[in-house]
Amino acid sequence: MTGTRRRDAVVAGIHVVVDGPPDAPPMLLVHGSGATAASWSPVLPGLAAAHRVVAVDLPGCGRSPRAPAYDVPAQADRVAALLDELGVARPTVVGHSSGGYVATALAERRPDLVGGLVLVSTGPAPDAMLPEAAAVRVLMGRPFGPLVWPLRTTGMLRRGIRSVTARPVDVPDGFLADVRRTRYADFRRVMAGYAAYLADRPVPERVAALGVRLLVVFGDADPRWDPASARRYAAVPGARLEYLPGVGHVAMLEDPEGLTRLLLAGAA
């Protein structure tokens, strides 16, 4: 992909969007639960002006092929194989929400590949999770989830996303189209993997053992994770915590300019 500015491809079993100058400092973007690489589209132009940005659809999500296992270490290993294949050295790894668990596991398993971590709206421990909206519980849970999933309309998807935002948002059509590609069975297995990883050990404790540079970004009105729980990352030596005012769980849609500014500063 050397010499190209933007390209979509499937590499090492992962759909990836690569953008930005080939010789710029690299940045890896890992999406959260139920999302895809397209969730980053509002911030991609600003980031790609200064970085070689690699945005992934995790296996089983969006345009990536399905995988035999979806536990977090396996997801991290697949991302590592992708970086090895692309020849991307020590990117700043940005994880949104549950994507922060894959980012953290990547640093745990391949510290040679990670130049720094940025966790955006990544819940630190199970007890920090807030109750989900009823519509989201119906869509994701049993017995109705498997029946409703194939029937999801664009309006339903937009309402689901807006249930975790604190302000009106513009949801890109391409993002919704890619979200519809994810199968219910794969989504449930991915979510089970995230839950097991988080239950095994809190994220701040994991990161504190790594000695990696850490920036934590939270919306101060996040309805998915208690915003005050972000302060638990203070246990990580040298960690920085930034709150985005009036922002919920999906900062890239709610405040793309503010998030871009923080990501660029965090990668410096």
pTM for this prediction: 0.95
Q: pLDDT tens-digit profile of 49-101? A: 999 999 999 999 999 999 999 999 999 999 999 999 999 999 999 999 999 99
pLDDT higher than threshold 80 for residue 220? yes
State residue 7's pLDDT score.
Answer: 86
pLDDT higher than threshold 80 for residue 142? no
DSSP labels, 173-231: HHHHHHHTTS-HHHHHHHHHHHHHHHHHS-HHHHHHTTT--EEEEEETT-SSB-GGGGG
State residue 201's pLDDT score.
Answer: 97
Mean pLDDT of the chain: 93
pLDDT higher than threshold 70 for residue 4? no
Mean pLDDT of 135-140: 67
State residue 2's pLDDT score.
Answer: 42
- Say if CB 13 and CB 70 are below 8 A apart: no
Structure tokens at 124: 């630190």
Q: Which of 130, 120, 126 is nearest to 243 (CA)?
A: 120
The sign of the dihedral angle between the CA atoms of 199, 165, 6, 61 is positive
What count of other Cβ atoms lies within 10 Å of the Cβ of residue 234? 12
pLDDT higher than threshold 70 for residue 135? no
State residue 128's pLDDT score.
Answer: 98
Helix residue spans in 52-170 (DSSP H): 72-86, 99-109, 134-140, 145-148, 154-162
Give the span between the Cα atoms of 253 and 249, in whole angstroms.
9
State residue 3's pLDDT score.
Answer: 42
- Say if CB 227 and CB 218 are below 8 A apart: yes
